[in-house]
Structure 1
Amino acid sequence: MGEKRLYLPFLLCLSGLVHSSAAVLYWSAVVETDYVKNNETVSKICECGVFGRNSPVVRASGVVTLPTGDPRGCGLDAVYSRNSSFPAWIALVKRGNCTFSDKINAAKRQGAAGVVVYNVDGSENSTSHMAHSEADGIVAIMIGNLQGTEIYTLVRNGTEVKMVVDVGSPHGPWMDTHWLYILSIAFFVVTAASIAYFGFITAKRLFRMNRERRQEQRLKSEAKKAIARLPLRTLKRSDEETSSDTHMCAVCIESYKEGDVVTVLTCNHIFHKDCIEPWLLDKRTCPMCKCDIMSSLGIEEQPKESLPTESPQEVTVVTVTGGDALYEVPLTDPSSYNPERQQHHYDSRAFQGDSEAARG
């Protein structure tokens, strides 16, 4: 169901293109004639016809038949002479004096397999894409005047001419070779531009990632050297840290034992050497007091490319029904330590005194 919904806009767009291009797209017709002249069979074939706009684009064949009287085949009483025993026949009429639909319907009513309209005098072998909206369901093509007059003369003189009308090639602005070349070039240009753009973006991203990775590696290398300069201690049985279970490493949460090697930070807090070194490379700060140890050692963090705009500090106000706000607590990030922000600001002095007394 989801795929059908995705295809629906594409199909609607495609149907719109087909509908809009129907008026400019046309099919040529291959015209083949055979007749006997001086005991010799003459065969001619050319892609010189054009299917009408309302004509089925299919094959048709039969003996060429002329209308009696007016060669234009107009009127409701147009009668075609049938001197051949060949069952299928094609009407040959001249353009002019009435609409294309009238000519085609007159032949269609009498059982013609197709209608061939040849152009007016003086047009040589030029043709047009004729419209006959009121006469459909029968093959109808137009040929040039010179070709049509030649066939008309042969039939008029008693020569039996057999004709085959076949489907030729599509023509129109989107079928022309010139347009195909333009579309092909445009397609390759757009494709090449897209590939170049994405290649540039990818290369730029890879370059930035490599630069950041090199900076990170350099910073980590300097941090390792700085951490190696921190003083180390090997705990003894007489040390305060080993004599009491209250002293423990804040990283691994284990008590200190005799022989443990500890690192003394710039804030004078101690931790297991194997625990604190990975911690400082990742967190930079003391696990207990949040002091920036790396900055104290001269290792500054790389500045970010863009810093977010600092938003106003949010506070939560706790109220009692029927009374004023008791206190407000800033909503800060627990991982960022700021002694001033960690203090609660009380609006009630009595509550503040009780709290200070409780802490005392």
Structure 2
Amino acid sequence: MGWRRRPEARGWAREALALLALVLCAPGARGRALEWYSAVVSTEYMDPQTNRTVWSVSESGRFGDSSPKEDAQGLVGVPRPADSDPEGCAPDTRFLVPGRRAAPWVALVARGGCTFKDKVLVAARRNASAVVLYNEERHGNLTAPMSHAGTGNIVVIMVSYPKGREILDLVQNGIPVKMTIGVGTRHVQEFISSQSVVFVAIAFIIMMIISLAWLIFYYIQRFLYTGSQFGSQSHRKETKKVIGQLPLHTVKHEEKGIDVDAENCAVCIENFKVKDVIRILPCKHIFHRICIDPWLLDHRTCPMCKLDVIKALGYWLEDVQETPPPEPAPGAVAANLITLQGDDRCDGNGSPSSSHESVPQGEAIFKEDAGENTALLETGRSDFQHGGPAS
């Protein structure tokens, strides 16, 4: 038969998962929800070689965190090549806007060199209606979130590096490019902050340490309990052997020394009946065997006088070792005990057989039960009840 885990041992994993869920859902465990909007970027210009209008539209931009989510349009302007500042960070940066007269214009600058806020403020001072930043080359077609608080109500978006370079090359070649910016799709992305990750990791480690300590404690207690059970079973086995040495007797009709109508067992409070098997304790109190044996296994004492029956027989079961009973003084047993015979035969003159000791007047004689020890009994009914000496 294999071992079966107890419910306490199975429950720790569920408790661990529940605790982890509470940690993740606790206030502060989650980072803030990231909400951002994509931007629809539309460009239009005249191809000088074919004299055809080239028009393109794609949802390739991303609005800045502090930018108003609204439409904007105008001719694209870039920092003048003579300024050698494609990032547009210098406060006196001038912009080249081909074909512009009085129409609104949109500033196109590269990412890097300074903060997003600085770039936006430089373009805003030049009356740009919107600012478009294109990402660095190493990021490819990706865009990134932008934090530029304090720039007012100017529209700010970011486009990918290829898209930005394409428009930049057209403008630097003197081709007017009209750009229209529209609001695209709303995106919501939840993420866990680094501090929350550290907090969850520490909480999980502590939880695992506590669970491991609890498991170790549980199995130590189980081991100790199993050992005590083995010791208790061995102790009860030895006690049962000692109890088996107590005399037994079967109640008969007109039993001398026992008033069948008046005597009762102190354990079950029922009168003794004919053919009842009784157990005689060293204190001379008598009980039903089926009543007193379980009592002695648990208590070891007489229910009436509290005599320690095991010690009275000369045993010390605490050490699980038997010690020989003390030898009685010469004549002490002979004065109070008699040996019971299988049948109380007398010789032809009515006197007891010469092979046995004579029985004094008033002493009760019990027969030996089949398969049981020889029963010894004090004289007189009063000796059964009070353990007094023979009269």
What is the TM-score when the length of structure 1 is the normalising length? 0.49
Highest RCO, 1 vs 2 (Cα 8 Å, sep ≥ 6): 2
Larger Rg: 2
